[in-house]
Chain A
Amino acid sequence: MSIALAHAPVLAPPPALPPVALRLEGVSRRHGVGADAVVALDTLSLSVRAGEFVCVVGASGCGKSTMLNLVAGLDTPTAGQVHVAGGRPALMFQESALFPWLTVEENVAFPLEMQGVARGERRRRVAELLAMVHLESFARRRPHELSGGMKQRVALARALAQRANLLLMDEPFAALDAMMRDHLHCELESLWQQTGLTVVFVTHNVREAVRLGDRVLLLSSRPGRLVAEYAIDIPRPRRIESPEVARSAREITDRLHEAVRDA
């Protein structure tokens, strides 16, 4: 695995800027060999500062999920390097991936148990996390008793339980209806502001990206390359139906269509 922890701060950025939480340097990932090989990611370089909320958008097949797998350490790049500061990142999927044999609180406690956190401390932190996602009263329920939105909130609490500095999200709200998604955007935004997490949020929904991100990165398809980058300085809290969000989203969508045509 080529994930290296942050170097000693010899070349540290000026103190005014927060340190880099994630850096990809010329990262490529090919699947398969020879003529059948598919280049999922092509010399992708990017960096994310600590505390930043970065959204990655692109058409399907742009290697968004491949990128997250590489950052999460579930896959290794064929070329280039992935630097993650401060230990293993947390990852949330499009499906909640809750363990059906465990209750809600046991699911949230799972990463703590893996880290060897003592039982009392575990219980305290699980209660705290469930309160954060407003699911205290569902602690003893099992995943199949919850709605899709509630499951994703439990998954979010479980991801936060890892106390990772970096939270990776792979289209986490894509399977939810618009109202629930809108609500979870608010919850995620407020949690991010409270905790100072760094978030890398992958989506194919440009509006969602503009609604949430400090920065939106646009990837092209096959091979996945970084084609454009947008700083979103619309003041928070934002609303997904606001004209500013719509305007930025239109601009990015046009560029996205170009990228798809060129591919």
Chain B
Amino acid sequence: MPETAAPRLHALAGDLDHVAARRAGAVPGDSLGVAGAGSERRAGAVPEDSRRGRAAAVPEDSLEVVAAGPERARGARVWAALWPKLAAVGLALALWELVVLSGWRPDYVLPGPAAVLGRLFADTMSGEVLVAAAITMKRALLGYAIALVVGVAIGLLMARVRVLRTAAGSLLTGLQTMPSVAWFPLAILLFQLSEAAILAVVVLGAAPSIANGLLHSFDQVPPLLVRAGRVLGARGLGLYRHIILPAALPGFLTGLKQGWAFAWRSLMAGELLVIIGHAPSIGVRLQFSRELSDAEGLLAWMIVVMILGVLVDGLVFGALERAVHRRRGLTGVHA
């Protein structure tokens, strides 16, 4: 290529990329163009189009403008994400109140939301909720941490050793589908009514999901990326560290999340079955409420269980998943 032609080609490159990026972002817009220019704005294809267009065309200069935008929009975004949730909670409380008002059960058996929320508030202020939540969450975290180590070790081992996978693959799936409550009689026989019995079942509940999640996420790594990694010089353990593990991360996160759900359920079952008197965990409080026919307290503690579950799922796993998906452009699910 003669040197004089180079700048012109360079400019052409920018134009082409611009065109390509716009086209990539505006597929719906293109098809709407046939229907008529007037429909384009309504379809909502325009913001997407202009965002990609701007990103591709003037990357450096527009960065500050782009950075200022989300700052202002954050409040609106949070509200947009929040109000449907608040509305759902409101609706659930309203239905609950309606059932109570219908007189289906006397209110010492099924109290209304006002009484229960009042009780929840009182128990929170007195510190009882915090003490119980601390005991329960400590068990959950410890059990989950052990399950994570065990699950990852088993998953890695089975991924590396084919015979092991053939031998134990269905066993692992069997363990995963087995309701972990079924382990408690054996765990109580082995460990008596102790922390160890609860922890053992939490680990048994969560580890198979984590191991299986890791194994399946390895299966779904695109072979092309592994080939590319090998060509570019990643070998042996480096191939795992630099290519397979990061490529498997989204699938592995799903396994981690499922593992947490199993751990949390096993823990609740465990705390109801294995009562350790000197440790007033959430399960113990639930059980005592039932024994004392304290319906208000029982429902208040159930709400605590639910809130903790939602918080961990949303704040820990949800945030992790969103971060990974956003970085890789897999935003379809969480958009």
Contact = CB atoms under 8 A, between A and B. Distances in A.
Contacts of B21: 146-147, 150
A27 interface: no
B249 A93 contact: no
A88 B228 CA distance: 13
Nearest to A162: B232
Contact of B225 (A99, A180, A193, A237): A99
Given A147-B20, A147-B56, A101 B232 contact: no
Interface in A132-186: 134, 137-138, 141-150, 158, 162, 179-180, 183, 186
Q: How large is the interface on A (under 10, 10 to 19, 20 to 34, 35 or more residues)?
A: 35 or more
B247 A99 contact: yes
A72 B16 contact: no
A74 B6 CA distance: 37
B179 interface: no
Interface centre among B1, B20, B228, B234 (most CB of A within 10 A): B228
B16 A183 contact: yes
Interface residues of B, number: 41
A111 B232 contact: yes
B71 interface: no
A93 B251 CA distance: 25
A245 to B, nearest CB: 15
Contacts of A147: 17, 20-21, 23-24, 56
B87 to A, nearest CB: 33
Interface centre among B1, B59, B246 (most CB of A within 10 A): B1
Contacts of B10: 134
Contacts of A144: 328-330
B246 A101 contact: yes
Contacts of B24: 147-148
A95 B246 CA distance: 19
Interface of A: 72, 74, 88, 90-91, 93, 95, 97, 99-101, 110-111, 113-115, 134, 137-138, 141-150, 158, 162, 179-180, 183, 186-187, 189-190, 193, 236-237
